[in-house]
Amino acid sequence: MKTAEIANRYLDFFRKKDHTIVPSSSLVSDDPSIMFTIAGMVPFIPYLTGVVPAPYPSAADLQKCIRTNDIEEVGKTARHGTFFQMMGNWSFGDYFKEEAISYAWEFLTSSEDEGGLGFDEKDLWVTVYEDDDEAEQLWRKIAGLPAHRIQRMGREDNYWTTGQPGPAGPCSEIYFDRGPEYGKDGGPAVDDERFLEIWNLVFMQYAIDNVRSKTEFDIVGDLPQKNIDTGMGLERVAFIKQGVENMYETDQVRPVLDRASEISGRPYGANDDDDVRFRIIADHVRSSLMLLSDGVTPSNEGRGYILRRLMRRTVRSMRLLGVEGATFPELFAASRDAMKENFPEVERDWTRISTYAFAEEETFLRTLTAGSTILDTALAEAKGSGATKLAGDKAFQLHDTYGFPIDLTLEIAEEQGLGVDRDAFNGLMAAQRERAKEDARSRKKTIADVSVYGEFRAHGETRFTGFDDLITETRVLGLLVDGRPAQKAVSGQVAEVIVAETALYAESGGQVADKGQIIGSGFELDVLDVQRPVAGLVSHTVEVTSGEVAVGDAATTVVDAANRRQAQQAHSATHLVHAALRDTLGSGATQAGSLNRAGYLRFDFSWGQALSAETKTEIEEIANNAVRDDLEVSTRIMSLDEATAAGAMALFGEKYGEKVRMVDIGGPWSRELCGGTHVASSSQIGLISLTGESSVGSANRRVEALVGTSAFRELTAERALVAELSASLKTPKDRLADRIAELSASLKSAEKRIAQFEAQALQLRVPQLAEQAAGAGRITLVAESLGQVGSADDVRSLVTQVRERLGAGPAVVALAGEANGRPSIVIATNDAARAVGAQAGALVKIATQVLGGGGGGKPDLAQGGGQDASAIGRALTAVRDAVAAL
C-alpha cells in the first residue's frame, strides 16, 4: 500500500466520521519560540489550550513536520527521520476517550476493502497511563484485547503536557508487533524495537501547574472542555504495510536512495557504512525539498542554517560515497516525483525550489575546494612543526567558518598520516551548542506566554476597520502591563491594549504596523507597535502619554494618515515591482520576502545573478508606466482555491485561511493574495525610484526603492549634486561621466607612478637592510621596521631579496611596516635556518599576537597583520627573542 494511499484512506475515514479535513500547515511554525512545526499538534495548540476558539468541533489532517534534534541518528535506526508526516484526528470538546479509541481500532483493523488498513488484531498492543483505569476498560470493551496486551506506563511515557502550566492528560499508545526476529517478546514495556509505536491518543482533560519537569507537576483540576489529540506516524505505518525494513525503503523515500546508489556505483545493502550514507541522503534530500517548498532558503542563521546543514550533509555523504560532482539535479528530481502526490506544490514550484537547491550545492562544492586548500596548508604546517595531530581549533575553524565537514577533515588528515585533536574540537563544538541553546532559551524568555491572550480572544476576533476608516470608536477589552493582565495603565507606562475593533494595521505581509494614537476621555496613548500575538487578536503596544486608561473604557483608534498613505504607496509599489520583475525575468523571479514602510520598499526575489543596469532600468520603467497608466486597484474576498484558480500568487512564508483577500492591480497583470492596505489606483503611488540591487544569498537578490515623495526628494538631491559637480569641474552635465572618467584615469596613472617610485626607493634599502644583520644565537637575523609602506606586497618582495643576500648560513629576515594605518609583518627563512628549527609560520604567529591580529603561511615564508601599528617594535623584539632561543 503506497504512502499516499494510506494518508488518503485516513482522511477519507475521518471525513465519513464528520471531521473537518484541514490542510497541512507550513513547516515554518507560527510559534515564535520554535523554528519549525515539530509535531502534528503544533498548529492546533491555540485551539487545544483554549486561547483561540476552535473553528470546528472535530478535525483530521496530514501534517508535515521537521525535527532535527536527533539528526545524528538519521540513517542508523528504522524510524529516525528529519522530515515526517503525522496523521491526526482532533476533538475540541466534541468527543472523548471512547470515540477516540473506537475510531483508532476501527481504522486499523477494518479490512482494506472496507477502507481500513487491515492490521491483524493479534499484532496490536496498547499502553495506557498507570492510573487510567477507564482507558484500559474501554480497550477491553471496544477491542476485546486481553489483559496482557494492555500495559500500564508512567508519566515519562504516557502523559502529555506542553512543558508549561496549562492543559495536559494521559495517553494511550498503539504498538505493532514486528515479530520475534526483531527482538524479545513481552510487549512495548520490554522491547520498543520489536514493538513499534504507530499511534498515540492523548486524552487532554486536566489542568496542571507548578511544572518542575516532564514528570513532576501538579494536577490542579479538570479542564472546562475535554479535547482529543492523536498522532499516527505515516512513515512508520508505511514501512509496516509495505513490508520493508525501515522508513528509508518506503515508496516516498527509496527512489532517492536508489538514485544515489546508481550515481555512486555502490549497491545498497552491501556495506553498513555506505547504507547509513544512502539513508542520510534519502532523508535529507526529502527534508530539504519540503523546506524549500515552504519558502525556507539556505542561509547562515535560523531556519536557513538548518536547511543548509541538511543539504551540506547530503553533499558530504555523496562525497564519502566517492561522488565529488553535482548530484542535486537528479536527487531532488527523484524526491519531487516521489512526494508530488501528497504535496503537489513540490512540482508546481519546482523552478524556484531547484534554483535554490542547485545553487546551494554549487556553492558548497566550491567551499569544499577552497576548504581543501586551507586544510592542506594547515596539515603541511602541522607536519612541518613535527606535530602528529591537526589542532582542534583549526578543525573547528574549517567547520564553523568555511562549512568544511569534520569527517572530511579526518579523512584527508588520515591520508597524510595525521590525526585530529578531536577532544579540543568536540569541546569547541559543545561550547557552540551551549551558546545556541542559551540563545534559544533567552529568546523563549522574551516571548510572553500566549495564554494571557486567551481571555481577550474569547470575546471574538478583533475587527479591522482600517481598509475603509482611519478613525474607529471602540472599547478597551483588556490591558497587559509587563506581560501580565492589569486593570489600568497610567501616564508613563508602556502597556498592551486590546480593543474590540481597530483602524490601526497590525504588522504582516511585509507591511509595517501603523503609527497613530488611541484616545479617550482622560487619556492619550501613543501607539508604538501593532501585532497579532494569536490568530484573530490584535494587540497595540502603547505608551500612556497622559491620563489613565482602564479596562472597559470607551476609546478611539486614530491612524496617522500621512504615514499610512505613504505605507500604502510603498505596498502597492511592491506589487508593481514584483510584476515588473516577472515581466522582465520570467516566472522564476518569485517573491522571497519584502518590507514596506512609508516611502520605502525592499523586495527579495529568487534569482541567481546580478541584474544588469539595462535590466534595472527596464524594471523601473515598467513599474512607473503602470503608475502613469492609473491602473485600478481592486480587492476581492474568496476561497483560496478560487484565488489560486484565478492565477493569484501566494507568497511563501505567509499563512492563508479558507477565505483570502486577492488584490488586483490592472486586472491579472498584478494579482496577489495580500492582507495589506493599498492605494485606490496606481497613479496615487506617485513615483518609484530603484536605489539598489544586491545579493542576499546564493540564489536570492534584493531590490530597494524609494516611493512617492521620498523618491522625488532623492531625485531632487541627485539633481543638485550633478549641478554642483558640473560647476566645480566646469563641465556640461551631459559630459560629466566622461570628465570624471578622465580624472579617474589620471589619478590611477599618478598612483601607479608613485607606487613605482616607492618600490624603487624600497629596492635601494636592500643592501642597507642586509648590512644590519646581526647574530641571534646560531642564526643571522634581520628584524627591522620599514615605517610607512604602500602594501604588504612591498614588504614581501623586500624580505625575499634581503634573504638572498644573507648567503647559505642559517638566516631569518623579519620586516614590518605600516600600510593604511595597519601593521603588516613578513618573515622569511632559508634552508639552513629551518634545519635548526626556525619556521616562518610559527614566528609570524608570535609577532601577530603582539600586533593584535593573525597570520600564517609556509615554513619558508609567512605573513600577518594586526590592529596596533604602535606595537611593531615590540613584535620585532618578540621575534628576536624567539630566534635567539633557538
Q: Which residues are annotated as a binding site?
A: 571, 575, 674, 678
- Residue 663: CB partners within 8 Å, gap ≥ 6? 575, 633, 634, 635, 670, 671, 672, 673, 674, 676, 678
> Alpha-carbon distance 589 to 192, whole Å?
48
CB 162 within 8 A of CB 51: no
Q: Name the DSSP letter for residue 390.
A: E
b/e per residue, 401-415, with b = 16+ CB within 10 A? Answer: eebbbbebbbebbee
> Alpha-carbon distance 480 to 539, whole Å?
10
Q: Which residue has the cell 471496544?
A: 142
Q: Give me the helices (H) in 629-735, please.
A: 640-645, 709-729
Q: Which residue has the cell 524549500?
A: 292
Reduced to 3 states (helix: H, G, I; strand: E, B; else coil), residue 40 is: coil
Residues in binding site for Zn(2+):
571, 575, 674, 678
CA angle (244, 249, 254) in 5-degree steps: 150
Beta strand 419-420 with 389-390 is parallel
Q: Name the DSSP letter for residue 511.
A: B
> Alpha-carbon distance 714 to 704, whole Å?
13
Q: Give me the helices (H) in 687-778, please.
A: 709-729, 736-763, 766-771
Reduced to 3 states (helix: H, G, I; strand: E, B; else coil), residue 51 is: coil
> Alpha-carbon distance 844 to 855, whole Å?
7
The secondary structure element, H or E, covering residue 786 is strand 779-788
CB 219 within 8 A of CB 207: yes
Rounded to 5 degrees, what are φ and ψ at 879? -70, -45
- Residue 348: CB partners within 8 Å, gap ≥ 6? none
Q: Give me the helices (H) in 96-244, please.
A: 97-109, 133-142, 155-158, 234-241
Please state at what angle helix 133-142 crosses helix 97-109, rounded to 10 degrees. 40
The alpha carbon of 161 is separated from its chain's Cα centroid by a whole number of angstroms, namely 27
CB 811 within 8 A of CB 780: yes
Which phi-psi region, left, alpha or beta, contains residue 202 (left: φ > 0; alpha: ψ -120 to 50)?
A: beta
